[in-house]
């Protein structure tokens, strides 16, 4: 079940905050370095906003999740940890606190290696924990089409004018309001539109 104006239940907010902070603290104990793109926020806040957005999204669309931090095995990485699975599609979620913020993935991963775009769908969650208010979508085919250079036969990330970093970026106006619209834009029609994985 999905509602346009979805808010996290009050009883979940503290539990989610504790879970996110535990994951962050555990990662620091394992010597995982902070990778801060937005210098106005510290690592713990960035982690809370991003992980909180993932949980908000799963709550909104009735996608199962677990808040037992003891089940996590080591630091999360984009290659082995899926943000979300919806209707068989792998989703990577990004969050922005800015009302005009864009979807952005850095060209290099946390280890300085070229980042691979491995999700089927990319989601931008807009808002700030615990009050997120909107989610927008772009499919992998639409995203790669934007950054694919036919002459070199390679994906070529570009410099974002405001962030001043190289990456894959899409303004909110370029994204789709619904999961289904983004699937259609990528030519994936006739899909099962159930929101429960």
**Across the chain, what does the average pLDDT equal?**
84
Q: Is residue 59 a part of any domain in this protein?
A: yes
pLDDT of residue 1: 40
pLDDT of residue 113: 87
Q: Is residue 196 a part of any domain in this protein?
A: no
Q: Is residue 119 a part of any domain in this protein?
A: yes
Phi and psi, residue 147, nearest 5°: -110, 10
Q: Which two tokens stand for residue 62?
A: 């009735």
Q: What is the pLDDT of residues 82-102, one digit of tens each?
A: 789 999 999 999 999 988 999
pLDDT of residue 22: 86
Beta bridge partners of 105: 168
Q: Is residue 192 a part of any domain in this protein?
A: no
Q: What is the pLDDT of residues 26-85, one digit of tens each?
A: 777 766 666 655 667 777 888 899 899 999 999 999 999 888 766 555 545 545 567 899
Q: Which two tokens stand for residue 155?
A: 């994906």
Q: Is residue 193 a part of any domain in this protein?
A: no
Ordered DSSP codes for 63-89: ------GGG--SS--TTT--SEEETTE
195/101: higher pLDDT = 101
Q: What is the pLDDT of residues 143-190, one digit of tens each?
A: 999 999 999 999 999 999 988 899 999 999 999 999 999 999 999 875
**pLDDT bracket for residue 194 (50, 70, 90):** very low
**Which domain covers residue 172, as residue numbers?**
10-185
Q: In the predicted model, what is the mean pLDDT of residues 134-141?
A: 96
Q: Is residue 4 a part of any domain in this protein?
A: no
This prediction has a pTM of 0.83
CB atoms inside a 10 Å sphere around CB 16: 22
Q: Is residue 78 a part of any domain in this protein?
A: yes
Q: Is residue 174 a part of any domain in this protein?
A: yes
Residues 6+ apart with CB under 8 A from 107: 114, 115, 157, 165, 166, 167, 168
| Rg of the chain, C-alpha, whole Å | 17
Q: In whole angstroms, what is the distance from residue 51 CA to residue 103 CA?
A: 16
Q: How many domains does the chain have?
A: 1
Q: In whole angstroms, what is the distance from residue 12 CA to residue 32 CA?
A: 27
DSSP state, 176? B
End-to-end CA distance of the chain: 12
């Amino acid at each position: 079940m999905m509602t346009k104006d979805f808010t996290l239940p009050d009883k979940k907010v503290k539990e989610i905050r504790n879970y996110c902070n535990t994951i962050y603290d555990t990662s620091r104990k394992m010597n995982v370095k902070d990778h801060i793109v937005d210098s106005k926020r510290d690592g713990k806040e960035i982690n809370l906003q991003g992980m909180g957005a993932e949980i908000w999204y799963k709550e909104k669309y009735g996608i199962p999740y677990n808040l037992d931090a003891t089940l996590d095995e080591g630091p999360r990485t984009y290659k082995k940890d899926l943000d979300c699975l919806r209707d068989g599609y792998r989703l990577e979620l990004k969050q922005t606190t800015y009302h005009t913020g864009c979807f952005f993935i850095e060209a290099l991963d946390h280890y300085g290696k070229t980042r691979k775009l491995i999700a089927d769908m990319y989601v931008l969650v807009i808002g700030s924990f615990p009050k997120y208010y909107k989610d927008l979508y772009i499919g992998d085919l639409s995203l790669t089409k934007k950054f694919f250079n036919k002459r070199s036969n390679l994906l070529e990330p570009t410099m974002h004018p405001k962030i001043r970093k190289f990456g894959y970026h899409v303004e909110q106006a370029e994204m789709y309001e619904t999961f289904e619209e983004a699937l259609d834009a990528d030519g994936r029609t006739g899909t099962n539109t159930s929101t429960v994985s």
